[in-house]
Structure 1
Amino acid sequence: MSWIDWAALALFFICWLGYGPILSFIGKKGGSLNDDMAHVRAVWMRSMAHREIRLVDSQLMGHSINSASFFASTNLLLIAAVGGILFGGESALQGFAAVGAETVPMKILEAKLALVIVCLTRGFLDFIWALRQMNYTLALIGSAPEVHSSTDRRAFSAAAGQLLNPALSAFSQGVRGYYFALAAAAWLFGPLWLALGVASAFGLLIYRQEASPAARAIRNARRLLEQ
């Protein structure tokens, strides 16, 4: 590989693996969509603990579980598709030349496809972990006592929130894997495309966390909930 490939690959790993810490740093400065949603979900669990009938909470959790299951299934299909090309022999790999992919040695082409699979696999594992934690949260909702002191309700809702927030954070990480998998796929067309792809994915993710209409709406809702 050329030095441009190595530089683009280094940028990719910095953005991919450093996104979480960078977002946490930005969140401490001015807040982020993830931080605001964590607060909203904590309020949700607090409201759940004070409700006598928790049907709506179970329905909302069921919707989240269905969404995570859909993404996990789709992710698995994508892994199988890319893996089929990667392990399909030289004839399968040579087809990339027809769609304008960069002409490189077969081993480098395999490495590029392997990077896509790594991104998708990490996302798949995030979805699986999110699903397990969501099911744990659903069990907590089902076991929430109907008659309890206010102190116990607050403690129970805090415990449920501490389980729900990591679950949906893992779900978000899984979705984020699609962005970086697309950026990794851009490497097939050359290192400059990889650098452009990962910079675009990173910038888009930060924008959606900090300045998108959804982020502003959730931030305003959090302020109202804190009053």
Structure 2
Amino acid sequence: MSSLQTLADITTAEWLALALIFLAWFGIGWLVEHPPRARPSVTILMQAYRRDWMHTFITRTPRLFDVSLIASLRQGTTFFASASMLALGGGSAMIGNSGAMRELAADLPIATGHIDLALKMLLPMAFLANALLKFIWAHRLFGYCAILMAAVPNDPDHPEAMHRAEQAADINGTAAKSYNRGLRAIYFALAGLAWILGEAALVLATLITSATLLRREFWSQSREVILDRRSE
């Protein structure tokens, strides 16, 4: 069976389910990064704290805490990049092993051929590939941020101190944005696995994933804690 024939076998309901998951992925990402002014997301709230961090960094002595923190952020991106790469490698190996695909298809509670199953595995792999690229870029940006932080004078009266701190804050925020995009891609990669069980399962998994992401960004308890800036 050719790839064109396999694509032709995708039903209208499945195409709609695929459109839904990609629309949800893009729409939630846009909403999180461009929330209503009256209800900012956790991502946007944390941007303010990142900027406060860099402002405080100017006068902090010694700066060992900041060094360990930026190193921790880089380690987090390294972990998720490695995990995404391993998952991609495992998925590629499974698709290339027709015997294993037949066994997996036989164990599923629905009638799915190994070629159909291989096609459906491409959906979570596409999200994982996106996540890998985002984590790699976030790791590099956190490295840039570390260098910019090293260039920030440890003197608030220095004419370049605030400007360089602002530069470091901007790069830190951009790195965090890429990191968060990678995490969202992993969420939707997990949702994409549900396509193996059919289009209804894919729609349900997409809705659950979307609700989880929206709750954590806009209605979580952690958001209320982050939002409480009583000193202002």
Query: If the length of structure 2 is used for normalisation, what is the TM-score?
Result: 0.90
* Pair 1:199-2:194 in alignment: no
Give 2:6's aligned residue: none
* Pair 1:167-2:175 in alignment: yes
Give 2:83's aligned residue: 74
Give 2:51's aligned residue: 42
Give 1:86's aligned residue: 95
> Is the CA contact (8 Å cut-off) linking 1:208 and 1:215 kept in structure 2?
yes
Gaps of 5+ in 2: 1-9
Q: 1:124 to 1:101 in 2, by over 3 A?
A: farther
Counterpart Cα distance in 2 of 1:23 and 1:71: 21
Counterpart Cα distance in 2 of 1:193 and 1:76: 26
Q: How does 1:59-208 map to 2 (within 5 A)?
A: 59-88=68-97, 90-100=98-108, 102-147=110-155, 149=157, 152-208=160-216
Counterpart Cα distance in 2 of 1:26 and 1:111: 35
Deviation at 1:150, TM superposition (A): 5.9
Q: 1:218 to 1:78 in 2, by over 3 A?
A: same
Q: 1:27 to 1:128 in 2, by over 3 A?
A: farther
Determine helix, strand or coil for the equivalent of 1:26: coil
Counterpart Cα distance in 1 of 2:106 and 2:117: 14
Q: 1:205 to 1:103 in 2, by over 3 A?
A: same
Q: Which moved more, 1:168-177 or 1:57-66?
A: 168-177
Counterpart Cα distance in 2 of 1:28 and 1:95: 52
Determine helix, strand or coil for the equivalent of 2:205: helix
Determine helix, strand or coil for the equivalent of 2:160: helix
> Is the CA contact (8 Å cut-off) linking 1:27 and 1:35 kept in structure 2?
no
Deviation at 1:96, TM superposition (A): 2.2
Q: Which moved more, 1:186-195 or 1:49-58?
A: 49-58
> Between the two proteins, what is the percent identity of the paired residues?
26
Give 1:21's aligned residue: 30
Counterpart Cα distance in 1 of 2:109 and 2:72: 39
Q: How many residues align?
A: 223
> Is the CA contact (8 Å cut-off) linking 1:58 and 1:141 kept in structure 2?
no
CA RMSD of aligned residues (A): 1.7
Q: 1:24 to 1:171 in 2, by over 3 A?
A: closer
Say which structure, 1 or 2, has more relative contact order (CA 8 Å, 6+ apart): 1
